[in-house]
């Protein structure tokens, strides 16, 4: 990165976890700060043997460190592979070239594929501070990226990750553009499609801004942090899997970006398309169905937005050699009853086990998506997919397949209810006319989902339902009392979550 | 902020300086992290008596803290007013409402004055993490803000700062939109205008992305960190001052935003207008001249951009009751010989002292701006300003005034040369045809300016100058050997800084 090394300091393991960010701690009065003029927030290159990281300086004015010591955040220690007592050397950070492109994007210039390659390579190497990551995400948000740019970003993300090779010509996959609480079709779809003899190795993400991602939900029923070899074994045996994508570093850039997106609570168009499709290519998929739920309080709010996303998904898919089909679905209200990892898993199990009274909407959506995949494979004629999928589900073959997949992933377990709960009652008699999915999701998140897997909401008041005064509209579950209280606080100060007329 | 308090921890003063950001350090296995499910990067409300701050959690996995202790970054300790041993309580962060507007802006929605008020109030109260600040800055960059929004942002910034009241009807002021190395007219202009009996209390900023701000330069000659009462005393006695604006918290929001802009190396249109004009209003100014240098490698690159800025400055000025005049000047090359605080101060002194061979360009620019201010005051007829300003300068009245101002600010001192220097020689004979101001500024910054006040560049090769092979084009000065080497590295890998034909 640069050739000027200054003197050295010894590592003290101070055990500070800053999540992804590389932080270096030095005494204000150590010889390096003094001679090099380093002050708080200076970006410094830290060298250990052949390795180096860029870290942000936090200056220490206490006896936490001695004059010849430096501390590193845990992430930085891991990246450098250092232990207490190792010797570090330091140099000034040379201008990070790719940040010029981030600034250009902030000023609304169009970036090339090469520009994105450079940015993404630096991000994956841990060279961006959180401030710089936030600027990049913000500059790419809204409709800031052109089709060409989204394609470039997607390719750049593919280039930095692993790609899984399969011994099959056709690899099926599905994805849902989130925003609809409880819409947990994946475990059902994978079970049906795999039971039909098609290959569907599903890698899912954890929640970005929602109360649960598919990986979070699946994790309440079986291990999902599988390595590449383990995934292959599951799929070779069972045709399908439902695992967390991050564990196999399919798109390491995306994992870093998502950590900052999460803290900003945004999930923008271009990055969404790049994130989804780069992971599909990395997973080795060839044919993908994407479900876009549309509703006023879903992630995608209008048919127009959905069609725009459809255009991007299909166009970028074509540019990177992926066959993409889009299904636009109704996103007016939560799907099933559960919102939050464990509670959603209970819905999934009810559908798979054909329990009487299982959530009909979840079942119908899963059958529609599975049917579309069966047809896309060419193995089932157009128009026959849904019927076939329903039959696989209702004959118990899907449930059998699901159990086999869980077993192979490390063993099935039953999702649990949380210890703390609170019933939210209707204040009047009437009919449920509108549901604010965003606020409902926020209540579930404040209650601890997805961090606390059994936290969330059991939702009992779908659109059109007649309710009486005092009837339970939904139950809030939490693992910690503080979180339950906090969700209740929010619920109480937002009385328009469910509109009853 | 919210009513749910959980248990308490004792403060341990671990003395970590994170600059502006509030960080809370807690043991992963302390009862609060465990019961509340706090993990790294969680945003937490920290309470002490009547006060509270929002802080980002860094989780400690070492004996740095005991189970009943928590650490705070120095900024957070100051904000809360806590000392070692004080008891803190904690609560979950309620959704920060104004972040919804930041997200809306990221998605290109237009914000209202009220929206900006809420955002800026939260920023000033220290409620934004660096990630959130970066997202806000990025979302407002380029041409993202409408005139209405820039006005709203300006008013919001005014609302959160102090406003200085003067016993004078007319308060003059000047500002230069940076980007032109060495363009340090302010101390000269203030001295001339104050000597003419007009009131010009000049509050200046430190460098954002340049090698020196006026406050940095002035600080090499006299103290600039004056409080409000001290500033008033200087101005009542001498009609003018040249002080750092940040010390009197004229625009606390701007100071926080600038710290993040600096680390992103951006300085965007809307924020520039809001930053400049809010500080003018806060300083009590009524009549302001703004100098916009235009050049290919200056901050403003084209006449078109300059006219757009002129429009915003005048229109926002009108909306907030400020009389603004714009002077668009030539920004093709550095002004004077010095680039960096001390070296620029030497040029300023040469002009004020009428030293033969003093930088003619700096003198002419200062006289033009001072003349425009004299005319704007109405005390001197149109067309007579420049002549009058020149006479005040050349008769030594301006130098006398400057010394008096320095004396009143705490005492005059002479700027010094740095210990390390390197001559950059011409590799061929020819005429200087082009100068890359940005790269030249970068060399000065890498050499340590403005952090190291005597670091920078002595520039000896203006446009049109005939040079021989081996002639000194410029001298790099640095206070630390490492910084000098680093500036030389950059200079060597960029051979197009000065084009000779």
- DSSP letters for A68-132: TEEEE-HHHHHHHT--TT-EEEEEEPP--TTHHHHHHHHTTPPPPHHHHHHHHHHHHTT-S-HHH
- Give yes or no for residue B167 having a pLDDT over 60: yes
Q: Which helix (H) or strand (E) holds B293?
A: strand B287-294
Answer with the residue of higher pLDDT: B208 or B145.
B145
Percentages (nearest 5) of helix, strand, coil residues in chain A = 40, 20, 40
Whether residue A2 is contained in a domain is answered as: no
pLDDT of residue A5: 43
Cα–Cα nearest to A241, from A191, A174, A278: A191
- A462: its two tokens: 């779908």
Instruction: Find residues 8-27 of chain B whose CB sits inside 8 Å of chain A.
Output: 13-19, 25
Total number of domains in chain A? 4
Q: State residue A3's pLDDT score.
A: 38
Boundary of a domain, candidates B55, B72, B92: B92
- Residue B306: per-residue pLDDT: 93
pLDDT in tens, A31-72: 888 767 677 778 899 999 999 999 999 999 999 999 899 999
Average pLDDT value for residue range B219-245: 94
Among A158-167, B135-144, B342-351, top mean pLDDT goes to B342-351
Alpha-carbon distances, residue B339 vs B181, B211, B336, B347 (angstroms): 6, 7, 8, 10
B418 close to A (CB below 8 A): no
Count contacts between A and B (CB, < 8 Å): 207
Region A5-13 average pLDDT: 81
Report whether pLDDT(A249) > 80.
no
Residue A179: which pLDDT band, with cuts at 50, 70 and 90?
low
> Band of the pLDDT at B179, cuts 50, 70, 90?
low
Contact residues on chain A for B133, CB-CB shorter than 8 A: 131
> With 90 as the cut, is the pLDDT of residue B246 above it?
no
Q: Say yes or no for a CB contact (<8 Å) between A64 and B99.
A: no
What φ, ψ does residue A424 adopt, rounded to 5°? -100, 120
Cα–Cα distance, A393 to B9 (Å, whole number): 54
Q: Which two tokens stand for residue B138?
A: 């990025």
Rounded Cα–Cα distance for residues B481 and B349 (Å): 28
Cβ pair A4:B107 closer than 8 A: no
Contacts of A144 in chain B (CB under 8 A): 108
d(CA A271, CA A257): 9
Whole-number average pLDDT of chain B = 91
Half-sphere CA count of A170, side-chain side, radius 13 A: 16
On whether any CB of chain B is under 8 Å from the CB of A493, the answer is no
**Do B364 and B294 share a structural domain?**
yes
Residue B137's φ and ψ, nearest 5 degrees, are -60, -45
Contact A472, A432 (CB under 8 A): no
Supply the pLDDT for residue B402: 98
Least confident among A139-153, A244-258, B202-216, B277-291: A244-258
**The pair of three-digit structure tokens given for residue A444, joined into one six-digit string:** 């579930």
B69-72 and B87-92 strand pairing: unpaired
Query: Is the Cβ of B139 closer than 8 Å to some Cβ of chain A?
Result: yes
Residue A277 lies in a domain: yes
CB nearest to A141's CB, from B106, B133, B486: B106
Residue A2 confidence class, pLDDT cut points 50, 70, 90: very low
Q: At what angle do helices B252-264 and B113-124 cross, to 10 degrees?
A: 80
Whether B93 and chain A come into contact, CB under 8 Å, resolves to: no
The confidence score (pLDDT) of residue B114 equals: 97
* pLDDT for position B123: 94
pLDDT at A4: 44
Q: How far is CA B480 from the centre of its chain?
A: 24
- Confidence class for position B4, pLDDT limits 50, 70, 90: very low
Q: Which of B5, B36, B40 to mutate to test the interface with A (most CBs of A within 10 A)?
A: B40
Domain boundary among A92, A125, A142: A92
A286 token code pair = 């060839």
Biggest alpha carbon–alpha carbon distance for chain B: 75
Which residues of chain B have a CB within 8 Å of the CB of A95? 442, 490
Residue A164 lies in a domain: no
Task: Verify whether the Cβ–Cβ distance B106 to A35 is below 8 Å.
Answer: no
Residue B22 is assigned to a structural domain of this protein = yes
Pairwise CA distance, residues A427 & A422, whole Å: 15
Tell me if A214 sits within 8 A of A177, measured CB to CB.
Answer: no
Is B476's pLDDT higher than 50?
Answer: yes
A400/A467 same-domain check: no
Beta-carbon separation of A18 and B40 below 8 A: yes
The verdict on a CB contact (< 8 Å) between A451 and B137 is: no
CATH of the domain at A250: 3.40.1030.10
Beta-carbon separation of A264 and B132 below 8 A? yes
Nearest CA-CA distance, residue B138 and chain A, Å: 5
Task: Give all strands of the β-sheet with B472-478 in edge-to-edge order.
Answer: B338-339, B456-459, B472-478, B420-425
Domain boundary among A159, A185, A209: A159
Q: Which one, of B370, B347, B343, B371, lies nearest residue B360 by Cα? A: B347
Does any CB of chain B come closer than 8 Å to the CB of residue A57? no
Contact A196, A400 (CB under 8 A): no
Share of chain A above pLDDT 70, in %: 98
Residues B471, B375 share a domain:
no
Rounded to whole angstroms, how far apart are CA atoms B501 and B498? 10
Q: Which helix (H) or strand (E) holds A305?
A: helix A303-319
Chain B residues with beta carbon closer than 8 angstroms to that of A485: 4
Partner-chain contact A138 B143, CB within 8 Å = no
Q: How confident is the model at residue B238 (pLDDT cuts 50, 70, 90)?
A: very high
* Same-domain status, B243 and B381: yes
Same domain, B382 and B283: yes
The helix-helix angle for A130-139 and A252-264 (nearest 10°) equals 90
User: What DSSP element (H or E) covers B467?
Assistant: strand B466-467
Nearest to B61 among A15, A59, A106 (CB): A15
pLDDT band at B215 (very low <50, low <70, confident <90, very high): very high
Residue in chain A nearest B19 by alpha carbon: A40
List strand residue ranges (DSSP E) for B34-110, in order.
43-48, 51-60, 69-72, 87-92
Residues B272 and B322 in one domain: yes
pLDDT for position A243? 94
Distance CA B471, CA B432 (A): 12
pLDDT at B2: 40
Q: Which of B227, B282, B272 is closest to B251 using CA atoms?
A: B282
- CA atoms of A54 and A45, how far apart (whole Å): 5
Q: Could you say which of B2, B17, B486 has the minimum Cβ distance to residue A59?
A: B17
Q: Does B265 touch chain A (CB under 8 A)?
A: yes
A112: tokens are 């090339």
CATH number of the structural domain spanning residue A467: 3.90.1170.30
CB A299 within 8 A of CB A177: yes
In whole angstroms, what is the distance from residue A59 CA to residue A133 CA? 22
- The DSSP bridge partners found for residue A202 are A242
Q: Which residue has the higher pLDDT, A452 or B180?
A: A452
Q: Look up the ipTM and state it.
A: 0.77
The CATH number covering residue A62 comes to: 2.40.40.20
Contacts of B6 in chain A (CB under 8 A): 482
* Interchain pair B17, A94: CB under 8 A: no
The shortest C-alpha distance from B299 to chain A (Å) reads 13
Q: Among residues A173, A267, A347, A361, which one is catalytic?
A: A267
Tokens of A433: 């006319």
With an 8 Å Cβ cutoff, is B479 touching chain A?
yes
Q: Does residue B134 form part of some domain?
A: no
Same domain, B243 and B388: yes
Task: Give me the residues paired with residue B241 across strands.
Answer: B201
Q: Which residue has the tokens 């157009």?
A: A382
Does any domain span residue B375? yes
Distance CA A55, CA A89 (A): 13
- Alpha-carbon distance B10 to B388, whole Å? 65
Contact B64 A59 (CB under 8 A): no
Nearest-Cα distance to chain B for A131, in Å, is 5
Structure tokens, A2: 């640069």
Average pLDDT of the residues in A414-434: 95
The answer to whether position A1 is within a domain reads no
Q: Is residue B117 situated within a structural domain?
A: no
Phi, psi of B14 (to 5 degrees): -95, -5
Look at A92-106, B1-15, B42-56 and tell me which has the smallest mean pLDDT. Answer: B1-15
The region of weakest confidence among A88-97, A196-205, B345-354 is: A88-97
Say what the pLDDT of residue B5 is.
43
Nearest CA in chain B to A19: B40
Q: How far is CA A494 from CA A381, A425, A474, A498, A499, in A?
A: 49, 14, 14, 10, 11
Coil, helix or strand at residue A191: helix
Residues A192 and A147 reside in one and the same domain: no
Q: Does B266 touch chain A (CB under 8 A)?
A: yes
Q: What residues of A are in contact with residue B138 (Cβ under 8 Å)?
A: 106, 134-139
Distance from the Cα of B382 to chain A's closest Cα (Å) equals 40
Q: What is the C-alpha to C-alpha distance for residues A368 and A429, in angstroms, rounded to an integer?
A: 35
Out of A25, A41, A143, the one facing B263 most closely (by C-beta) is: A41
Which pLDDT does position B1 carry in this prediction? 37
Return the active site residues of B. Answer: 267
B104 close contact with A: CB closer than 8 A: no
Q: Are strands A43-48 and A51-60 parallel, antiparallel or unpaired?
A: antiparallel
Mean pLDDT, range A400-429, rounded to an integer: 96
A375 in the same domain as A472 = no
Do residue B393 and residue B469 come from a single domain?
no
* Range from A81-90, B12-21, B258-267 carrying the lowest mean pLDDT: B258-267
Residues of A in contact with B94 (CB under 8 A): 486, 489-490
CB-based contact, B232 to chain A, within 8 Å: no
Residue B493 contacts A where some CB pair is shorter than 8 Å: no
Averaged confidence pLDDT in chain A: 91
Give the domain extent around B59.
8-92
Mean pLDDT of the region B323-327: 93
**Pair (B310, B377) in one structural domain:** yes
Residue B216 near residue B339, CB atoms below 8 Å:
no
Rounded to whole angstroms, the Cα distance separating B204 from A160 reads 46
Structure tokens at B251: 């625009």
Is residue A326 reached through a cis peptide bond, with omega within 30 degrees of 0 on the bond before it?
Answer: no
- Judge whether residue A30 has pLDDT over 60: yes
Q: How far is the alpha carbon of B350 from chain A, nearest alpha carbon, in Å?
A: 29
Q: Locate tokens 């806590």: which residue?
A: B82
Candidate from B129, B135, B490 with C-beta closest to A138: B135
Q: Tell me if A263 and B41 make a contact (CB, 8 A cut-off).
A: yes
A97 interfaces chain B, CB cutoff of 8 Å? no
pLDDT beyond 60 at B165: yes
Does residue B83 sit at the A interface (CB-CB below 8 Å)? no
- Nearest residue on chain B to A145, judged by CA atoms? B107
Considering only residues 152 to 191 of chain A, which have any Cβ-Cβ distance to chain B shorter than 8 Å?
none
Residues on chain B touching A37 (C-beta within 8 angstroms): 448, 451-452, 479-480, 483
- Tell me, yes or no, if A419 comes closer than 8 A to chain B by beta carbon: no
pLDDT of residue B19: 83
pTM of the model: 0.80
- The predicted model gives B337-352 an average pLDDT of 97
Strand order through the sheet with A287-294? A172-176, A287-294, A323-330
Rounded to an integer, what distance in angstroms lies between the CA atom of residue A88 and that of residue A46? 7
Chain position carrying tokens 């109260």? B125
Q: Is B133 on the interface with A (CB under 8 A)?
A: yes
Is the CB of A458 inside 8 Å of chain B's CB atoms? Answer: no
Asked if B314 and B462 sit in the same domain, the reply is: no
Residues B439, B441: Cα–Cα separation, whole Å? 5
Q: How far is the alpha carbon of B107 from chain A, nearest alpha carbon, in Å?
A: 4
How many other C-beta atoms can be found within 10 angstroms of the C-beta atom of residue B5? 12
* Nearest by Cα to A458 from A331, A380, A344, A324: A344
Mutation choice for A interface testing from B37, B268, B269 by most A CBs within 10 A: B37
């Amino acid at each position: 990165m640069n050739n000027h090394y200054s003197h050295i300091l010894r590592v003290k393991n101070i055990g500070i976890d800053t999540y992804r960010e590389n932080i270096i701690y030095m005494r204000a009065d150590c010889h390096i700060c003094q001679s090099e003029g380093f002050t708080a927030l200076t970006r410094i290159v830290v060298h250990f043997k052949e390795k180096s990281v860029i870290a942000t300086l936090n200056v220490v004015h206490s006896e936490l460190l001695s004059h010849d010591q430096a501390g590193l955040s845990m992430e930085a220690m891991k990246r450098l592979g250092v232990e207490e007592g190792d010797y570090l050397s330091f140099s000034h950070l040379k201008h990070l070239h790719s940040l010029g492109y981030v600034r250009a994007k902030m000023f609304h210039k169009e970036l090339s594929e090469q520009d994105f390659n450079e940015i993404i390579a630096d991000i994956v190497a841990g060279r961006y501070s959180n401030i710089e990551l936030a600027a990049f995400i913000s500059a790419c948000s809204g409709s800031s990226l052109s089709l060409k740019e989204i394609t470039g970003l997607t390719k750049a993300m593919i280039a930095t990750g692993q790609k899984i090779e399969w011994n099959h010509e056709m690899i099926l996959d599905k994805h849902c553009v989130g925003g609809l609480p409880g819409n947990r079709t994946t475990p059902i779809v994978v079970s049906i499609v795999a039971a039909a003899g098609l290959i569907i190795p599903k890698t899912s993400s954890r929640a970005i801004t929602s109360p649960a991602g598919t990986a979070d939900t699946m994790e309440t029923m079986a291990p999902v942090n599988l390595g590449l070899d383990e995934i292959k074994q599951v799929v070779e045996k069972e045709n399908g899997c439902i695992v967390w994508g991050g564990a196999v570093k399919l798109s390491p850039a995306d994992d870093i970006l998502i950590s900052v997106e999460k803290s900003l609570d945004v999930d923008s168009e271009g990055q969404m398309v790049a994130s989804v499709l780069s992971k599909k290519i990395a997973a080795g998929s060839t044919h993908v169905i994407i479900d876009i739920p549309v509703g006023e309080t879903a992630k995608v709010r209008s048919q127009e937005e959905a069609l725009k996303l459809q255009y991007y998904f299909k166009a970028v898919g074509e540019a990177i050699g992926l066959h993409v089909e889009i299904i636009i679905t109704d996103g007016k209200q939560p799907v099933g009853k559960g919102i939050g990892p464990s509670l959603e898993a209970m819905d999934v199990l009810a559908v798979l086990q054909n329990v009487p009274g299982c959530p009909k909407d979840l079942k119908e959506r899963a059958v529609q998506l599975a049917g579309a995949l069966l047809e896309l494979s060419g193995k089932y004629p157009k128009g026959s997919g849904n019927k076939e999928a329903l039959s696989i589900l209702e004959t118990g073959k899907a449930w059998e397949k699901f159990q086999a997949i869980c077993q192979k992933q490390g063993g099935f377990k039953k999702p649990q209810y949380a210890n703390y709960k609170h019933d939210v009652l209707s204040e009047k008699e009437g009919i449920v006319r509108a549901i604010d999915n965003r606020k409902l999701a926020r209540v579930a998140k404040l209650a601890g989902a997805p961090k606390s897997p059994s936290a969330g909401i059991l939702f009992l008041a779908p659109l059109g339902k007649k309710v009486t005064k005092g009837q339970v509209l939904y139950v809030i579950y939490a693992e910690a009392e503080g979180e339950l209280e906090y969700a209740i606080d929010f619920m109480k100060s937002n009385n328009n979550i469910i509109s009853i007329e």
